């Protein structure tokens, strides 16, 4: 079976100290066939131009060096924020990416981790706003491949019970999934919840299953690893979920176009 890890950070992301080469070596050791380097670009945090030119030089050297052992594709994880759509679209169009993860790391300009987004808001209001803004993001930023960790808000929530149940937000989540499907965009299964001891993938199974029921077919798997030890972490769980939900394929990307690979 063709194995991918399509969500990997290196020290070109401000929250990782890991050299790209060590991430690659870990992926090779774990039998991964193709990885996407997806370092962060978050314009709501910093308007400084990301160091993507440096990253691309390094990427090319590494790709050449490990060519016989692993495929590497150039990706990015870009924080989607509809108020910054022009800046984001301009960045995306400046480079020749194979794969783009669009993620919600902020809502209405407030970073979910660094800013006080949740202050004075009950959980239902905050989570609903997160999804409403996500729908706007999908409609204002055109060129991304998959939406990253769709229900990640439940990781950041400052509530005693942070959990998010699909059925409580099913109207807006369905609207999001249908819009993604209509625009030929996928979702990722992000396994980083295990690293945070939250024992879940993002999205949770119910949302993955709903994407499939509504006709969605484009799925990538990503560890969101920031250190080599977490490359491909808990992927067996992701594959089991995919099979249970009825998926027969995962997607790779070439120049932003999906290529389907059968799941055994």
Contact residues for Zn ion, defined by CB under 5 A? 77, 103, 224
Minimum gap (Å) between residue 56 Cβ and Zn ion: 18
Nearest to Zn ion of 98, 224 (CB atom)? 224
Minimum gap (Å) between residue 149 Cβ and Zn ion: 6
Minimum gap (Å) between residue 242 Cβ and Zn ion: 20
Query: Kind of pairing, strands 186-190 and 40-41?
Result: unpaired
Minimum gap (Å) between residue 187 Cβ and Zn ion: 13
Nearest to Zn ion of 135, 263 (CB atom)? 135
Query: Kind of pairing, strands 257-262 and 249-254?
Result: antiparallel
Q: DSSP character for 103?
A: E
Minimum gap (Å) between residue 230 Cβ and Zn ion: 11
148 and 190 in contact (C-beta within 8 Å)? yes
253 and 145 in contact (C-beta within 8 Å)? yes
3-state class (DSSP) for residue 48: coil
Minimum gap (Å) between residue 43 Cβ and Zn ion: 14
Nearest Cα to Cα of residue 151 among 137, 171, 169: 169
Residue 193 has phi, psi (to 5 degrees) of -60, -25
CA–CA separation, 174 vs 14, rounded Å? 33
Nearest to Zn ion of 103, 251 (CB atom)? 103
CA–CA separation, 17 vs 228, rounded Å? 10
CA 210: distance to chain centroid?
Answer: 18
Nearest to Zn ion of 224, 233 (CB atom)? 224
Residue 189's beta-bridge partner residues? Answer: 221
Nearest to Zn ion of 223, 251 (CB atom)? 223
CA–CA separation, 215 vs 206, rounded Å? 14
Nearest to Zn ion of 151, 224 (CB atom)? 224
């Amino acid at each position: 079976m063709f194995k991918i890890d399509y969500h990997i950070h290196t020290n070109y992301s401000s929250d990782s100290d890991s050299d790209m080469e060590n991430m690659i070596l870990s992926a090779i050791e774990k039998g991964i066939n193709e990885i996407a380097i997806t370092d962060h670009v978050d314009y709501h945090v910093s308007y400084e131009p990301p160091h993507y030119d440096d990253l691309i030089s390094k990427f090319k050297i590494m790709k050449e060096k490990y060519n016989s052992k692993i495929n590497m594709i150039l990706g990015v994880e870009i924080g989607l924020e509809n108020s910054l759509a022009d800046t984001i679209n301009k960045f995306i169009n400046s480079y020749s990416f194979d794969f783009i993860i669009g993620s919600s790391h902020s809502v209405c300009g407030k970073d979910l981790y660094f800013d006080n987004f949740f202050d004075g808001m009950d959980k239902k209001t905050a989570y609903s706003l997160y999804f409403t803004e996500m729908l706007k993001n999908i409609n204002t930023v055109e060129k991304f491949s998959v939406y990253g960790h769709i229900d990640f808000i439940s990781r950041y929530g400052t509530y005693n019970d942070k959990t998010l149940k699909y059925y409580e937000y099913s109207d807006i989540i369905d609207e999001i999934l249908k819009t993604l499907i209509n625009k030929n965009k996928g979702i990722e299964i992000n396994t980083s919840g295990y690293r945070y001891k939250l024992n879940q993938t993002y999205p949770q199974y119910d949302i993955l299953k709903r994407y499939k029921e509504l006709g969605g077919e484009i799925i990538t798997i990503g560890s969101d690893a920031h250190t080599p030890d977490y490359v491909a972490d808990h992927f067996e769980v992701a594959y089991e979920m995919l099979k249970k939900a009825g998926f027969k394929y995962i997607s790779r990307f070439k120049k932003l176009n999906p290529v389907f690979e059968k799941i055994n």
